[in-house]
């Protein structure tokens, strides 16, 4: 036997030297849920260990993450029903607690990367990402609403906007709007290949944002498709996206790889709520070892080509690194 692959596995040191990928805290983005009010910290039942936080708790949470070495966060608002309407007007209202929070977070932590969500669903009385008329989700009529939302977030100081709505043409539309208003340096992390997935359940519980009628299949991608993701990526890339995202991640590793191979900008993988919840459930049952299964799960996305990973396990991974140092 001339070739013995096991020689490169004989010690921890040589395994470290031979590793093909790595996972650093700079690769991770931690999703956080914001709720209006004070002194609120309510656990999301279907996503144990994750909470809806009011601003003072949220600032404390970011502080503890920054101390661990995490520097990127994506923020989602849990909006009361009374603020929801057909056209998501609260999303760009000066009274919006989410916009106020963005300002406060960036004032306290100017060096972190803060990413927003741009879509109508948290603010829409229909629970859809776009404007609903006669049971249809209107594309072009949704774009000006999204751009008002994105502009308000840019004004509040967001670093990257995150359009998660899957309307056609929205990246170019939002890029133009940001540029026309002087926000050249506000970036776009585009939800490029976002699938109509069953794995968003816990997230919709967290925000109470499930569609009131129907599903999201007329705008989110069909889970049976992968080549179509290249078309979506081509559009987002050409329209000025700074990052291309694949969502969910674990069930779409082939799509992550395809985008990584074809496009010269970073690929983000969103390890979504349901994907995290199923691992947590197995671990809480004693069926899997969390500290081993969690990093292995994240490595799979790095191996597939994800430059950055949005995951509810970001803080757990940071804590694990600290423990094993
Ligand atoms: C909303 C949005 C969703 C997620 C992120 N932004 C849900 C949806 O499209 O219904 C899901 C994230 C997760 O499940 O962790 N536009």
194 as an active site residue: the answer is: yes
SS3 state at 282: helix
Q: What residues are paired with 247 via a beta bridge?
A: 194
**Beta strand 28-35 pairing with 72-78:** parallel
CA of 203 to the centre of ligand 1 (A): 6
- Annotated catalytic residue, options 84, 194, 260, 315: 194
Q: How far is residue 239's CA from residue 169's CA, in Å, rounded to a whole number?
A: 8
Give the pLDDT score at 325.
Answer: 79
- The owner of tokens 């029903």 is 81
- Give the end-to-end CA distance of the chain in Å, rounded to a whole number: 37
Give the pLDDT score at 208.
Answer: 85
Q: CA dist 148 to 94, 101, 133, 142, 151, Å?
A: 12, 18, 20, 10, 5
SS3 state at 76: strand
Domains present along the chain, CATH in parentheses = 22-324 (3.20.20.70)
What's phi and psi for 212, nearest 5 deg? -75, -30
Q: How far is residue 98's CA from residue 35's CA, in Å, rounded to a whole number?
A: 8
Give the pLDDT score at 308.
Answer: 98
Residue 119, ligand 1, Cβ within 6 A: yes
What's the helix, strand, coil split of the chain in %, to 5?
45, 20, 35
CA of 211 to the centre of ligand 1 (A): 11
247 as an active site residue: the answer is: yes
Q: What residues are paired with 310 via a beta bridge?
A: 29, 270
Residue 226: Cβ-neighbour burial (10 angstroms; 0-12, 13-18, 19+): middle
Query: Ligand 1 test: best mutation among 44, 49, 121, most atoms within 8 Å of CB?
Result: 121
Give the pLDDT score at 235.
Answer: 98
- Annotated catalytic residue, options 84, 216, 247, 315: 247
pLDDT per residue as tens, the chain (325 positions): 999 999 999 999 999 999 999 999 999 999 999 999 999 999 999 999 999 999 999 999 999 999 999 999 999 999 999 999 999 999 999 999 999 999 999 999 999 999 999 999 999 999 999 999 999 999 999 999 999 999 999 999 999 999 999 999 999 999 999 999 999 999 999 999 999 999 999 999 998 888 998 999 999 999 999 999 999 999 999 999 999 999 999 999 999 999 999 999 999 999 999 999 999 999 999 999 999 999 999 999 999 999 999 999 999 999 999 999 7
Q: How far is residue 263's CA from residue 282's CA, in Å, rounded to a whole number?
A: 36
Give the pLDDT score at 192.
Answer: 98
**Beta strand 160-161 pairing with 136-138:** unpaired
CA of 124 to the centre of ligand 1 (A): 14
Residues in the chain: 325
Q: How far is residue 282's CA from residue 286's CA, in Å, rounded to a whole number?
A: 7
- The owner of tokens 């608002």 is 77
Q: Which atom of ligand 1 is nearest to the CA of 129?
A: 16
């Amino acid at each position: 036997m001339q070739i013995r692959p096991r020689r490169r596995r004989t010690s921890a040191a040589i395994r470290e030297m031979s590793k093909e990928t790595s996972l650093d805290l700079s690769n991770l983005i931690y999703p956080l849920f914001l709720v209006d009010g004070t002194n609120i910290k309510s656990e999301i039942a279907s996503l144990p260990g994750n909470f809806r936080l009011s601003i003072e708790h949220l600032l404390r949470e970011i502080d503890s993450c920054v101390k661990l070495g995490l520097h990127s966060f994506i923020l989602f608002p849990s909006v009361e029903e009374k603020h929801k309407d057909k056209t998501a007007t609260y999303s760009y209202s000066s009274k919006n607690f989410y916009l106020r929070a963005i300002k406060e977070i960036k004032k306290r932590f100017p060096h972190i990367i803060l990413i927003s969500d741009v879509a109508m669903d948290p603010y829409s009385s229909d629970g859809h990402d776009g404007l609903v008329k006669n049971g249809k989700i209107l594309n072009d009529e949704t774009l000006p609403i999204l751009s008002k939302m994105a502009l308000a977030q840019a004004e509040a100081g967001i670093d990257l906007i995150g359009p998660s709505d899957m309307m056609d043409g929205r990246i170019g539309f939002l890029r133009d709007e940001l540029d026309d208003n002087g926000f050249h340096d506000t970036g776009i992390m585009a939800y490029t290949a976002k699938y109509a997935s069953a794995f968003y359940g816990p997230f919709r519980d967290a925000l109470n944002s499930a569609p009131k009628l129907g599903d999201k299949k007329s705008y989110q991608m069909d889970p049976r498709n992968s080549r179509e993701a290249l078309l979506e990526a081509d559009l987002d890339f050409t329209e000025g996206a700074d990052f291309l995202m694949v969502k969910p991640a674990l069930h779409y590793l082939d799509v992550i790889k395809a985008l990584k191979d074809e496009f010269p900008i970073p690929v983000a993988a969103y390890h979504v709520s349901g994907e995290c919840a199923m691992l947590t459930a197995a671990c809480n049952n004693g069926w899997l070892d969390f500290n081993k299964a969690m990093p292995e799960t994240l490595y799979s996305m790095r191996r597939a080509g994800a430059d950055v990973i949005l995951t509810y396990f970001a803080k757990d991974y940071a804590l694990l690194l600290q423990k094993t140092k």
